[in-house]
Amino acid sequence: MKRLVIVTVILAGCAAVCTGRYNSRASQLKIIQLSEPRLTGPVSLEQALAKRRSVRRFSSQELNFVQIGQLAWAGQGITEKKAGFRTAPSAGAIYPIKLYFATPDGIFVYEPDNHSLNEVLNGDIRSGLAVAALKQSMVATAPCDIVIAGSAKKLAVEYGNKAKRYMLLEAGHIAQNILLQAVSLELSSVPVGAFDINQVRKICKLPMTLEPLYIICVGYPAGQPTTESNEKKRTGKPDTGKTKRAVLIIASENFRDEELFETRGALAEAGVETVVASTKRGLIRGMLGGRAEATVLLKDVFVNDYDAIIFVGGSGAKQYFNNRVALNIARQAEQQGKVLAAICIAPAILANAGVLDGVRATSFSSERVRLKKVGAVYTGSAVERDGLIITASGPRAARQFGEIIVETITNNDL
């Protein structure tokens, strides 16, 4: 049953609900199919080593599942499928360690084989965990506490009385990977070793075979501006008044996480200022549980204010297929010579706005017929650019989509 749902989740792609639920227990527990880890990043290993510092005060901004997935992969991700070898070394490749992620939504265990997070408990255990960690308050305030737990028994079969030492060494490897990955994601962290083992085991509902070894608190440092301004700050580019601006339009629920976060990340790295618009203001949840703050209402998007108009996909994007305001925004963008972009199922919005006639375009496969019907030259590529119109197939192409938007905005100005 569990396997079936995971397979369904993978096949469903960007347009379907990716937090699969299964009913093998009375309570319904989520399985989060994580997106592919990133293998490149803006921070070199040397910079990450130099910048890593323990931080104990965190802002309330939550992490999304793209960030959490990347941390999980850094700790225990499979990097060689055939042999099952992972990011961190393991004596005899026995892998006695499990990673648990305590977030405001619940506690999840990382399953390297599926690259998924399986919910163990619904609800926020972080305060209880902080009490178990000798009342260290950052365990309660960090948006994500990673509990590294190990089974010396699993190693003892092969290594006898060396098992405990090997398990602890492996936990250290994993912890350091996670700490450095946090730096690379521009997050802060602190490792915590001071806690009551039995209390942590009980709170996290760990099986008796697993001993909690280490907790790593991860989040945004307190007193820092929000993500958008962080990204602007990171670019180091002063606002000269010529800063490029892009609006990312997301559905009022179920936008696809990577398509917003990775596209926005590529824009921010290039110094492009971004705003998020939707039919409602405030925090909006993505299909994978990430949260984004929409600060502009769709009806208040003035195309003239932006260099690029970007429609983000995910199952919720259907709400704009026949939305008069959204279609008008797309038409105006084309008429005013702005960069107009859409990813996943969102190219259907451009199709319905009538701006794809004779244009080379791509989309999530479900929209292929619709695009062809309005005269688009459908290519099925990951990303397609035709003049100022950029389309992409789905979450895996999000980063490249963002980079091509940046390139097009830059060239459009020359």
Ligand X SMILES: Cc1cc2nc3c(=O)[nH]c(=O)nc-3n(C[C@H](O)[C@H](O)[C@H](O)COP(=O)(O)O)c2cc1C
Contacts of 66 (CB under 8 A, 6+ apart): 34, 35, 257, 258, 261, 262, 288, 290
Looking only at the bridges linking them, the beta strands covering 360-361 and 377-378 are parallel
Minimum Å gap between C-beta 189 and ligand X is 9
How many CB atoms are closer than 10 A to CB 74?
22
Nearer to ligand X among residue 218 and residue 312 (C-beta): 218
> 398-412 vs 257-269: helix axis angle to the nearest 10?
40
Question: Is residue 219 a contact partner of residue 143, using CB atoms and an 8 Å limit?
Answer: yes
Stretch that binds ligand X, among 48-56, 146-154, 360-368, 402-410 (CB under 6 A): 48-56
Among 56, 57, 281, 396, interactor with ligand X by CB under 6 A: 56
Minimum Å gap between C-beta 32 and ligand X is 28
Number of residues engaging ligand X in binding (CB under 6 A):
9
Nearer to ligand X among residue 192 and residue 308 (C-beta): 192
Nearer to ligand X among residue 180 and residue 390 (C-beta): 180
Stretch that binds ligand X, among 5-13, 53-61, 201-209, 394-402 (CB under 6 A): 53-61
Q: Among residues 385, 376, 308, 387, which one has the least CA distance to residue 348?
A: 376
> 257-269 vs 65-76: helix axis angle to the nearest 10?
90
Residue whose beta carbon is closest to ligand X? 193
Nearer to ligand X among residue 45 and residue 297 (C-beta): 45
Minimum Å gap between C-beta 258 and ligand X is 31
One character per residue 137-176, x = contact with ligand X (rule: CB under 6 A): ----------------------------------------
Minimum Å gap between C-beta 242 and ligand X is 39
The partner residues of 293 in beta bridges, in order of sequence, read: 283
Secondary structure of residue 289 in the 3-state scheme: coil
Nearer to ligand X among residue 11 and residue 194 (C-beta): 194
| C-alpha torsion sign, points 294, 303, 395, 349 | positive
How many CB atoms are closer than 10 A to CB 35?
23
Question: Is residue 408 a contact partner of residue 390, using CB atoms and an 8 Å limit?
Answer: yes
Nearer to ligand X among residue 216 and residue 339 (C-beta): 216
Q: Among residues 183, 162, 10, which one has the least CA distance to residue 92?
A: 162
One character per residue 95-114, x = contact with ligand X (rule: CB under 6 A): --------------------
Q: Which amino acid is at 402?
A: G
Minimum Å gap between C-beta 191 and ligand X is 5
Nearer to ligand X among residue 194 and residue 369 (C-beta): 194
Among 21, 51, 53, 205, interactor with ligand X by CB under 6 A: 53
Among 28, 44, 54, 229, interactor with ligand X by CB under 6 A: 54
Minimum Å gap between C-beta 73 and ligand X is 22
Rounded CA separation 259/249 (Å): 11
Rounded CA separation 347/391 (Å): 6
Nearer to ligand X among residue 73 and residue 195 (C-beta): 195
Residues 180-199 close enough to bind ligand X by CB under 6 A: 190-194
Looking only at the bridges linking them, the beta strands covering 29-33 and 19-22 are antiparallel
- Kindly state whether residue 135 participates in binding ligand X, applying the rule CB under 6 A: no
Minimum Å gap between C-beta 412 and ligand X is 44
- Kindly state whether residue 26 participates in binding ligand X, applying the rule CB under 6 A: no
Minimum Å gap between C-beta 192 and ligand X is 4
How many CB atoms are closer than 10 A to CB 339?
26
Nearer to ligand X among residue 55 and residue 308 (C-beta): 55
Q: Among residues 382, 388, 384, 392, which one has the least CA distance to residue 410?
A: 388
- Kindly state whether residue 216 participates in binding ligand X, applying the rule CB under 6 A: no
Q: Among residues 381, 387, 299, which one has the least CA distance to residue 340?
A: 387
Nearer to ligand X among residue 194 and residue 414 (C-beta): 194
Question: Is residue 307 a contact partner of residue 275, using CB atoms and an 8 Å limit?
Answer: no
- Contacts to ligand X by CB under 6 A: 53-54, 56, 136, 190-194
